[in-house]
A and B are shown apart, each in its own frame.
Chain A
Amino acid sequence: MTWRQHKPRARRAAVKGGVVLRLYIVGGAPNSVQAVANLDAICREYLKDDFRLEVVDILRHPQRAMAEGVLVTPSLAKLSPLPIANVVGNLSDKAKVLLALGLERKAK
């Protein structure tokens, strides 16, 4: 279980300056569906292809989510670049998401 956690991180290090994101969702829960859509839109607009996104469905990997300290869903973690940032919610508040992901400057 833990190797999954580390492997993307190792790969991510190779992606220079790239943003590595992980989104924890719960199957087809409304907030989760909305979060996926919102994040997709943000990434397309601000990151183009320069990002890596992993979507973890807690229903399938509950123990992994627990090990990684997820509590509420949907929950987005920015693993790279540092510092690590966490955003919870369906990501409908775009400004906050951008701020948390450090994409604010790029938005300007």
Chain B
Amino acid sequence: MSRKTDAAAKHLPKIATGIEGFDKLSHGGLPRHRTSLLIGGPGTGKTVFALQSLVNAVQRQRAPGIFVAFEENPRQILANGATFDWGLGSLTQKQLFFLDAHLSPTLVKAGDFDLAGMLAMLAAKKREIGAQCIVFDGIDVLLTLLQDPVAEMREIYRIRDWLADHALTGIVTAKLESRTSEALHYGFLQFMVDCVVRFERRQEGRVSAPTIQITKYRGSDYSAAEFPMSFGPAGIELGATEAAAIERAASSDRIGVGFERLDAMLGGGVFRASSTLISGMPGTAKTTLAGKFAEAACLRGERTLFVSYDEAAEEIARNLSSVGIKLRAHVRSGRLRMHSARSDGISAEEHLLKLRALIRECQPQVVVIDPLTAIAKAGSLGTARTVANRLINMLKDDGISLLVTALSATDDLQAESTDLEISTIADTWIHLSYVVRSGERNRALTIIKSRGTSHSNQVRELVLSTSGPTLTDVYSAGGEVLMGTMRWEREVEEGARKTRQRAEFEHKRRELQFAEARTRAQIRALQMELERQRADLALNSSENDVRHVSTSERENELRKRRSADRAGNSSRKRSGRAAR
């Protein structure tokens, strides 16, 4: 914003109104030392806009201002202004001077009059307090009193020249009832001023949406589109902050959505600062998944904002705790902010502005909106679509991870995709549906798209339990994923089959073990037999030796006894062999 302001300032000095959206679309604010005209029907926010600009100039730029009230009593204006958080009450008469130019109803007009006297008084006041800005609120009231188009024009010129002479930035507000009458009465008013801002209220469905549009700005470029606005605690807020070009860094950081199985299906979770859409009919556990997402964010230590429409935060926390999602603790720790809002009677634009104020206030890293489709309840669908689009873009620009739920009236994907048209802008789209088969209604989860991730294409059954939501194992039969009791039956069947298989295997193993043992036993027996046979053999041969030795020894003995000398040699040889 500031960069643009500086660039524009070279061409035309501007004074920032402090109304952020407006300063953006006007590229810096209202023209300095020139006259700007705010026109619009009653209750469109002209006076608030003028007063807010003036107060901002006083507080932020230390530029004292004068407020000339033709239409309302300054006391009323002050009281109305005090409802906003501007700190209006703390301003002194030296900073912001109110002139009650509210003409008495008993006033008699006898002939032509002019504003020369009032301007002389204001000039004196300007000198006294050093005012730099002046607001003429409800100048139409005064001009109507002139009852003369020529005189009206003369006085308008008088004001303009006076502003220029006194180096004052002027804001003039004027009522107009409709677009047609304005052309006749205030054509010259628009012609004479340097900047014209038009305020309108559009009826959209059952709600009227205030809008703002710059229709003229001499010497400056501006956004000519009509922008929605709303009245927040800080005054007027404009929904016109998006830059035309999309400049944002893409994060490759993944964040978990709350439970592993879904993360796995998403190929590791969703990208940080991406948008996720969960669509589905009532009761398909959208809120549960949203709650899980919020809880996961809190557990990661991220500031989280949970916005629920038409359902109290306490109710949601209670309901979610039944499926093991504990949000209360995070609310207490301040990590989670739960905000409930009513959706009825508020236009989509207003919802957006309120959300933006809320987001600015709590600076979350993760935002959950449940359900986003609630913003389309009042007002036109067309507006709701652009609002949804802007909301998603706004959060992405701010690097906030977003999860929204969308209520679909039918289970038809085509119908959902055309409803708020968020499915086209969301990065990840998870669809929850009911699968009715064999007398049962089961929840099914499908990831329809997930940009930049290799996500699963399977339809999975979503089961809620006290420990939280989870996805069941996949059993398919005849090309269909089985769910509910069919899945359960299949699971049981599968279990039985496995048990049987295990038993069979065990049996077989034992059999083999037995066979092995038997073979081993046989081997052992044979080995023993072999050993016995060897032993037999050894015994046999040694007996033979002993017999042999004993025979030769006897021969020697006999020889000795016979004293036969010649056989001595052979006797030694033989005894040596026996010793061995």
Contact = CB atoms under 8 A, between A and B. Distances in A.
Nearest to B68: A71
Interface in B72-126: 99-101, 103-104, 106-118, 120-121, 123-125
B68 to A, nearest CB: 9
B142 interface: yes
Given A62-B123, A66-B124, A86-B104, A91 B117 contact: no
B111 A89 contact: yes
B113 A99 contact: no
Q: Chain B interface mostly helix, strand, loop or mixed?
A: mixed
A92 interface: yes
B116 A29 contact: yes
Nearest to B107: A86
Nearest to B102: A71
B117 A73 contact: yes
A75 B109 CA distance: 9
Contacts of A86: 104, 106-108
Contact of B111 (A26, A34, A59): A34
A82 to B, nearest CB: 13
Contacts of A97: 108, 110
A38 B111 CA distance: 10
A70 B117 contact: yes
A34 B116 CA distance: 14
A85 interface: yes
Interface in A1-55: 24-26, 29, 31-32, 34-35, 38
A86 B91 CA distance: 32
Contacts of B116: 26, 29, 31-32, 58, 73
Contact of B99 (A66, A73, A85): A66
A80 B428 CA distance: 81
Contacts of A85: 106, 108
A24 B117 contact: yes
Interface string A88-108: 111111101101100000000
A24 B113 CA distance: 11
A1 B97 CA distance: 20
Contacts of B113: 31, 72-75, 88-90
A97 B117 CA distance: 20
Nearest to A35: B111
A92 B111 CA distance: 5
Given A89-B109, A96-B108, A99-B108, A70 B114 contact: no
Contact of A96 (B109, B117, B124): B109
B114 A31 contact: yes
Interface residues of A, number: 36
Given A87-B108, A97-B110, A59 B120 contact: yes
Contacts of A72: 103, 113-115, 117-118, 142
Given A26-B116, A63-B124, A93 B111 contact: yes
Contact of B117 (A25, A87, A92, A94): A25
B117 A65 contact: yes
A85 B107 CA distance: 8
A91 B111 CA distance: 5
A63 B121 contact: yes
Nearest to B128: A63
Interface string B501-529: 00000000000000000000000000000
Most buried by A among B118, B120, B125, B142: B120
A26 B117 contact: yes
Nearest to A90: B111
A89 B111 CA distance: 4
A97 B101 CA distance: 22
Contacts of B115: 72-73
A88 B107 CA distance: 7
Contacts of A87: 107-110
Contacts of B104: 86
A54 to B, nearest CB: 15
Nearest to B120: A58
Interface in B164-195: none
Contacts of A58: 116-117, 120-121
B531 to A, nearest CB: 136
A85 to B, nearest CB: 7
Interface string B130-150: 000000000000100000000
B509 to A, nearest CB: 109
B118 A73 contact: yes
B301 to A, nearest CB: 60
Contacts of A70: 117-118, 121
Interface string B346-383: 00000000000000000000000000000000000000
Q: Which of B111, B125, B142 has the most CB of A within 10 A?
A: B111
A90 B113 CA distance: 6
Nearest to A99: B108
Contact of B110 (A59, A62, A71, A91): A91
Contacts of B117: 24-26, 58, 65, 70-75
Given A58-B120, A71-B118, 15 more contacts: A29-B116, A59-B120, A62-B121, A62-B124, A65-B120, A66-B124, A72-B103, A75-B117, A86-B108, A87-B110, A89-B113, A91-B111, A93-B111, A96-B110, A99-B108
15 contacts: A58-B116, A62-B124, A63-B121, A66-B99, A69-B100, A71-B117, A72-B103, A72-B118, A74-B117, A85-B108, A86-B107, A87-B109, A90-B110, A90-B113, A93-B111
Interface of A: 24-26, 29, 31-32, 34-35, 38, 58-59, 62-63, 65-66, 69-75, 85-94, 96-97, 99-100
Interface of B: 99-101, 103-104, 106-118, 120-121, 123-125, 128, 142
A-B complex: 5 closest residue pairs judged by Cβ atoms:
A73-B117, A89-B111, A62-B124, A92-B111, A90-B111
